[in-house]
Amino acid sequence: MKKLLLLLLAANQLLSQDKLGYINSEYAGISSIYSNPTNFLNSKIFIDINIIGANAFIANNLVYYPKSTSSVLKNNFSNPGQNLKDVTKRGFAEFNVEGPSAGISFDNYSFGFFINGRSMAEAKVSKTLASYVLKTKDQSYFNENGIQNQRAFFGFGAWTEFGVNAAYMYRRNHYSFRNVGVNLKYLVGIAHASFRVNDADYDISNTGDLENVHAIISYKYNIPQWNAGKGIALDLGWSYTRMLEAVSNYSPNNKKISGCKHISYKYKLGASITDLGFINYKKNASSKKIEYDSGSINLDSTKANSFESIDQELSRVGNGLKTTSKNHFLALMPIGINVQYDYNFENNFFLNSSISVGPRIVGQLKRPDLVSITPRYDKKYFGAALPISLYNWTYPQVGFALRLGTNFIIGTDRAGYILGLVRNTYGANIYFNLKIALFTHCGQRKKRMKSTNDCISKDQPLLKNK
């Protein structure tokens, strides 16, 4: 059991989070729609093409690399330590691959498509149960107090999504836009596994056996394979954009109406709900709920190290056992509720503030809660940001992001592991994107432009042939 806990809380040493330093940029293009489907509207990019991208994130409060002795820059890592504080133990890991995607922002609309591969793992163990498994409390403590109402959850999911994006400016005032947007996703399930202790009560005898046991346990799993399950999901978004100039007769990226002019915003306020959906697993799938009451279990003879061996061991525990089984199950997606605010200081500096909450749905993966403040410098061919965030309302983290042109983006929301000087390293994050961006340009030209990104103002007279 201890090995299982360590594995789920601390494995995958560089396994995404939210790309806080990049997704709110005016030049984020199609990458910005995952936090709010309306974000590509009024973009400074006319057409955005993502070639490839990846985003990896891991965080836990059990295993860490000691500060000062572990650093990526120094290429030095000492043996990891173990946090034995009497607290609830948590772990979260995510790894996403952003496949080919493209989007266009034109007039009052934006459209796009995307293909992503996603995987996520989560673990949560109550502090009492974790103390017993890790043996951080004396055995006499449990013999005297027993264990009551303890809970634990371990889960993993991997799937591919094929999606389309659409957004619309549904209301235009003299100086503002109101927008709605949606991402529709078709999901192909690959793997899902979850193990949930709903309730655990027991005493421990002098011989170490469990006595007076009451436990409610459920688990789901499938044999990993392509197209193991199918499902759907959607993201819904709304935003209000206050502009710097009058926009009554302005149509973004429309050269016939607005020429080459682009009006920036003073601030944006948005709200969204993401990953609202499910995957139905039917191929080589199993779901079981187990209730055991008023019995005893010999821990030395019970060695369940896989879902298959759990079934074998259950037959040995005797009376008081009730089980229900199915050969299919529904896996709900890890829902996110998000609010974003972005302010323009009108000197290429911006300040973004975002909140993301992952509600706990019984038996399903939960994404972390996050609140962030991100100062950002944004120009056409260069951008930099310094995201400062609070992970799960407790753990502060600082990152950075760099955008070189509109073609290469690299960043991290959790940069402590790079330096290894400030505090012990309990997690890491890194992401990148390779992209191609096309900007609107005026069509009536009398000479060849040096770059497709060049733009002549609609008020500037055209050169005449001699």
Please state the φ and ψ torsions of residue 322, each to the nearest 5 degrees.
-130, 135
Alpha-carbon distance of 338 to 269, in angstroms, equals 11
Q: Would you say the C-alpha torsion 402, 404, 409, 410 has a positive or negative sign?
A: negative
Q: Is 77 helix (H, G, I), strand (E, B) or coil?
A: coil
Please state the φ and ψ torsions of residue 174, each to the nearest 5 degrees.
-60, -40
Cβ atoms of residues 419 and 73 within 8 Å = yes
* Digit-coded pLDDT (tens) for 369-411: 999 999 999 999 999 999 999 988 888 888 999 999 889 999 9
Alpha-carbon distance of 271 to 109, in angstroms, equals 18
Closest to 355 measured CA to CA, from 273, 266, 431: 273
CA 390 to chain centre: 14
In CATH, the architecture of 2-193+205-210+222-279+333-438 is: Beta Barrel (2.40)
pLDDT score recorded for residue 137: 59
Question: 174 exposed, middle or buried (CB, 10 Å; 0-12, 13-18, 19+)?
Answer: exposed
Place of tokens 């055209």: 462
Alpha-carbon distance of 36 to 236, in angstroms, equals 7
Question: 89 exposed, middle or buried (CB, 10 Å; 0-12, 13-18, 19+)?
Answer: buried
* Digit-coded pLDDT (tens) for 242-277: 999 988 888 887 777 766 678 889 999 999 999 999
Q: Is the pTM for the entire model greater than 0.75?
A: yes
How is the chain split into domains, by residue range? Answer: 2-193+205-210+222-279+333-438
Full pLDDT tens readout for the chain, 466 residues: 444 444 444 433 333 457 888 999 989 999 999 999 999 998 889 999 999 999 999 888 888 777 766 556 556 666 777 777 878 888 999 999 999 999 999 889 999 999 999 999 999 888 777 776 666 655 555 555 566 667 788 999 999 999 999 999 999 888 999 999 999 999 999 999 998 887 776 666 655 566 667 778 888 999 999 999 999 999 999 999 999 998 888 888 777 776 667 888 999 999 999 999 999 999 999 999 888 776 555 555 555 555 555 555 555 555 567 778 899 999 999 999 999 999 999 999 999 999 999 998 877 889 999 999 999 999 999 999 999 999 888 888 889 999 998 899 999 998 876 665 566 778 888 999 999 998 875 544 334 344 334 343 334 443 444 3
Q: Is 311 helix (H, G, I), strand (E, B) or coil?
A: helix
Q: Is 322 helix (H, G, I), strand (E, B) or coil?
A: strand
Tally Cβ neighbours within 10 Å of residue 223: 10
